[in-house]
Amino acid sequence: METVQTKEKTSTMKFIVSSTTLLKQLQVLQGVLASSNTLPILDNFLFEIAGKELTVTASDLETTVTVTLAVEAKDKGSVAIPARLLLDTLKAFPEQPLTFSIDGKHHGVEISSDQGKYKMTGFNGNEFPKSPAIEGASTLALPAGTLATAINKTLFATGNDDLRPVMSGIYFELNTDNVRFVATDAHKLVRYMRTDVTAEKGAAFIVPKKPLNLLKGVLAGTNSEVTVAFNENNASFTFDTTVVVCRLIDGKYPNYEAVIPKQNPNKLTIDRMQLLSSIRRVSIFANKTTHQVRLHINGSQLSISAEDLDFANEAKEALACSYEGEEMTIGFNSRFLLDMLNNITSEHVRLEMSAPNRAGILLPGDAGEHGEDILMLVMPVMLNN
């Protein structure tokens, strides 16, 4: 009898965890879950217990996120638990300790709460793919807030074209005197530079959108430092109790410096919110395919107009501005301008232009945060007179 009991003991894994603490951590991982996975095991969270630590992992093979939290446990082991079912269950509980009992042999999961017991079928944790080890990695450390801002200011400008995958991520360019984050979809471009973050040696890599969106959400809630480790194929972002590992986009990033016009003699300075509101109103009347708005600048007046000839809709507004340069008319896609103006935080903005067929450069009109340098570029649309 004795021997059977000891066997039973070793095959059951138990731990106690706060329902809200676990839910909060699993919601970090939720963004990794893909709607359709090639491997059914990826529809689960991998739970691993060692000592008094629970490590939970979610993966879609391209991106893997791991969180670690303290629990009451005596056993060691792993199990894969159905992700959606567990999330829905935890959302339905008020804050309370939950006891998880896992049958090591059949991977059954039983959760005990103050109200009752809940059983679900788990899977063998060993079937869950291992997170890639980043061998021969170079590292960079930067404040979480800096990385969050860099992602927020650039992510909107990334492309969605499957034929040009390099443009679907953010280009991290590390230099010994600054670090740059660049995004472009060939119509608009953002270059966000930090001179207060530097790398030991130059390097560059392209990070896909999905892990960046995950990071954007999680970094908002932390003040710690993020360690970025990378090699040719993968990158990891480690902070607090979270690790995000992703496969990098393979390919050569376009020479973005070459498309930024250096000589822009026509400079317009204007209140950002006024310009934003005006474009938002006028663009309602623009053509629904081109979203084109026309900017006419003469002296200290900016006229913004749009028309949709198919429906005989038109709108025009005039704003006071400060302008140096020749009288000019230039057309832009209003959606791109609105995206950019929403991602600049300064009170005033500066629009620098050389000619109606050359890119316009949008810059903050006031000094930003120390060490921060942001430049946005928008391609014009041809005006039909």
Predicted confidence pLDDT, tens digits, the chain (385 residues): 443 333 334 478 999 999 999 999 999 999 999 888 889 999 999 999 998 999 999 999 999 999 999 999 988 899 999 999 999 999 999 999 999 999 988 999 999 999 999 999 999 999 999 988 899 999 999 999 999 999 999 999 999 988 899 999 999 999 999 999 999 999 999 999 999 999 999 999 999 999 999 999 899 888 999 999 999 999 999 999 999 999 999 999 999 999 999 999 999 999 999 999 999 999 999 999 999 999 999 999 999 999 998 999 999 999 999 999 999 999 999 999 999 999 999 999 999 999 999 999 999 998 777 889 999 999 999 876 5
Give strand pairing partners of 297: 302, 328
- Measured in degrees and rounded to the nearest 5, phi and psi for residue 24 equal -60, -45
Q: What is the 3-state secondary structure (H, E, C) of 63-99?
A: EEEEEEEECEECCCEEEEEEHHHHHHHHHCCCCCEEE
Which residues 6+ apart lie within 8 Å of 36 measured at CB? none
The pTM assigned to this predicted structure is 0.91
What residue ranges define each of the domains in the chain, with the CATH number in brackets?
A: 2-127 (3.10.150.10), 138-257 (3.10.150.10), 261-378 (3.10.150.10)
> Tell me, what's the pLDDT at 4?
37
Region of 25 please: left (phi>0), alpha (psi -120 to 50) or beta: alpha
Evaluate whether 25 touches 70 at the Cβ level (below 8 Å). no
Name the amino acid, one letter, at 65: V
What is the rounded CA–CA span in Å between residue 67 and residue 100? 18
Supply 211's token pair.
Answer: 């892990």
What is the structure's pLDDT at 8?
A: 38
Distance of CA 341 to the CA centre of its chain: 19
Confidence (pLDDT) at 6: 36
